[in-house]
Structure 1
Amino acid sequence: MSNNISQAFTDVDIEEVQSYWDSRPCNIRHSPKEIGTKEYFDEVEARKYFVEPHIPAFAEFEKWKGKKVLEIGCGIGTDTINFARAGAQVTAVDLSEKSLEIAQKRARLFGYDIKFYQANAEELSRWLPLEEYDLIYSFGVIHHTPHPEQAISEIRKYMGLNSVFKMMVYHRYSWKVLWILLVYGKGQFWKLDELIARYSEAQTGCPVTYTYTKESVKELLKHFKIIKVQVEHIFPYRISDYINYNYVKAWYFRWMPKRMFRWMEKNWGWHLCVTAKLKK
């Protein structure tokens, strides 16, 4: 996929995607505590923002106090809760029934009135009543649907000229893609799309994972005015320690100066974060 949007996963059934995320909702193992308890959710949130500290700055939770926020792909609800905690009127959508079940339990536990819908983002208007939102937020979701352009087309229906769209998709020119290619693919670049999908998530075998360059994401958002594009996030920890809740950096990151690591993240990070509005 040079600067063109890949079509590698257009034949994947959405039911396969739903089944994958139902089997292991994103971040569900961020805490060893009993799922659904306050201690569990607190640990999930702490770990998520420790490993991905750029998220609060990108989401700007406090900015949306009193505003209408629609989250596409809420997962188990970490960002969802933080929008509500900041005073936003939140509506959250997810394809995964299991993820929604946990997110709803989380909202009840912390006492937030959040509207939840189970829906396929590619057919959002079939399930979610049409109304305009101040912010539509989707972090790490749209690249996992077989037809991302259809999801974007649906999202536009919920935006006005003053609405803001914030989206994170995976970055093609990233350290993680290089790592996947070398470690798992043994340099088989012709299999790169398949390799990225298989190894993009903590649970292997994700059915769909598109990646984008700064150029190709603009093509995906061709009906939008791009306000800001930023690259973030390299995961520096040894997986063998991380899964046991120990944060030990890989040897090649351990000696690296912080300024050099941040430079790498800003150029070869895994998260391509885009802020946009509709074109007038």
Structure 2
Amino acid sequence: MNKQPNDGIVVVLRRERRTNTVPYGTGIPDAVRDTVVAFPFNDKEATESILREHADTLAAVIIEPVMFSCGCLLPRDGYHELLRELTAELDVVLIWDEVMTGFRLGPHSAQGRFGVTPDMTTFAKVAGGGYQMAGFGGRRDIMEEIVPPEGDEEQTWDSSVFHGGTYNGHPTSAAAGLKAPELLESGDVYDHIERLGDKLFVGSQEVADVVGVAANVQHIGSMGQIYMTDHDIHSYRDTWHANEERFADWWLEAAGRGVVFGTPSQGERFFTTDSHTDGEIDHALEVAEEALSAVNHPYGD
């Protein structure tokens, strides 16, 4: 059996595509583990079977619309459409974790790009121009749960969900949060970063093929990742075929030449920004090719 992380949980995937959950790290009580049921991303048959089996005890399904927590795992074959229909049928709240995709895959985030509306959504720093910022929203009937009821103050938190935060009113983050959407909607930001994203990631696949390094480049819009494998990337387990050591060596070779592609972990991702230029992307691809050649022929043979 192999371990699979899923937003703070390690999932054990058996051959029959059923799952167990175990704590991702120390300090997580078994009682918390017992409240979680995991299901395999992009596997529609297994997902439906698992959710139907546990429907009577499920409060919500929480998922990244694009699994950037393991590099860049894209939804396939109408997976989100099925999940939306299924959770609606089973009366289970569908929550999209758009911490990575929010406002980066378009002005309406991943849900606008895929045409799927979850019941709740979480956002993070992109909504504040990179400053400390987080937010969540959803259906009115769900959001009203955090509204304190009128009446006896001592009974307030017994009948509503407490919500608070240290930085909720931070003036810099709040100002950035108001301004960032204006800037995103006022210009050609998305056209620019996605055009450069296509150039960077498609070009990365091309240079890997030229050098002869097994690579599978996955991306959407301005974000993506290079998996050091020629295996198809359909599920998280497919990423296990990637050569993590080769990726780290390639990353270090590129960083030594002045270009940083995200982090040295294949479980992360990298992306283009509005400040990038065509010339910088051209240079990045030249360095990527040099670094790939270096790891493919470490001794210059």
Q: Given the two structures, how large is their TM-score scaled by the length of structure 1? A: 0.28
Task: Pick 1 or 2: higher relative contact order, CA cutoff 8 A, min separation 6.
Answer: 1
Q: Higher Cα Rg: structure 1 or 2?
A: 2
